[in-house]
Structure 1
């Protein structure tokens, strides 16, 4: 499946050590266009993290898979990107990620969600 949208937020890069070595995961939030825009949080793992495309404000096309799993009677759903292409700049050409010695883009991210008193959502 594919989704197009604008990168709203990059969540902190997560890294760790597993039985197969070092891993990294980048969660990011995009907002779709249209009459009823949707916000979607997507995860990219390892070499699928396209650092060139993942910058706040960039238009991206994300190819992804959705998977749900059950744990203790509750269901959890993951949206995992397997390809991220930048639609911003460069005449619509895809930007390829370079991972050898590249640096993370620095962005200023909001740390809290600002809700008005009218928002009475349970989550």
Structure 2
């Protein structure tokens, strides 16, 4: 199952390569939903690390990711593994509101005299 979040890039780490040949690159995205901003760490692995190359700190992005979990020595760990990332443009930010209002128009003859 895929998940999605939108926020501003706070940090992009350097690529890490391990002895096994596994490579990963992590980034932190600050999400402004809820009462307090949340810094969310996401990792991109193997051929997906190149998705981070054109991005810059402070840029607003939408990241599509999967949640991976594993057990190690009786403890459980989760990772957010990104596989798609898109820069958010100012025209995209206003589009959802326009689409919502155009698809959900208010009734033309709204009557305040409802009998119940």
TM-score interval, normalised by the smaller of the two chains: 0.5 to 0.7
The structure in which a higher percent of residues are helix is 2
Displacement of 1:23 after TM fit? 4.1
Equivalent-residue separation in structure 2 for 1:69 and 1:23 (angstroms): 17
Equivalent-residue separation in structure 2 for 1:45 and 1:76 (angstroms): 17
Equivalent-residue separation in structure 2 for 1:37 and 1:2 (angstroms): 16
| 3-state SS of 1:28 partner | strand
Contact kept? 1:58, 1:88, Cα under 8 Å: no
Unaligned runs of 5+ in 2: 93-116
Alignment pair present for 1:25 and 2:24: yes
Structure exhibiting the larger radius of gyration computed from Cα positions: 2
TM-score normalised by L of structure 1: 0.62
Displacement of 1:44 after TM fit? 0.4
Equivalent-residue separation in structure 1 for 2:89 and 2:54 (angstroms): 10
Equivalent-residue separation in structure 2 for 1:17 and 1:11 (angstroms): 19
Equivalent-residue separation in structure 2 for 1:86 and 1:15 (angstroms): 26
TM-score normalised by L of structure 2: 0.65
Q: CA separation of 1:88/1:13 partners in 2, compared to 1, >3 Å: closer, same or farther?
A: farther
Q: CA separation of 1:33/1:70 partners in 2, compared to 1, >3 Å: closer, same or farther?
A: same
Unaligned runs of 5+ in 1: 93-123
Q: How does 1:36-47 map to 2 (within 5 A)?
A: 36-47=36-47
The corresponding residue for 2:85 is 84
Displacement of 1:12 after TM fit? 2.5
Equivalent-residue separation in structure 1 for 2:88 and 2:74 (angstroms): 40
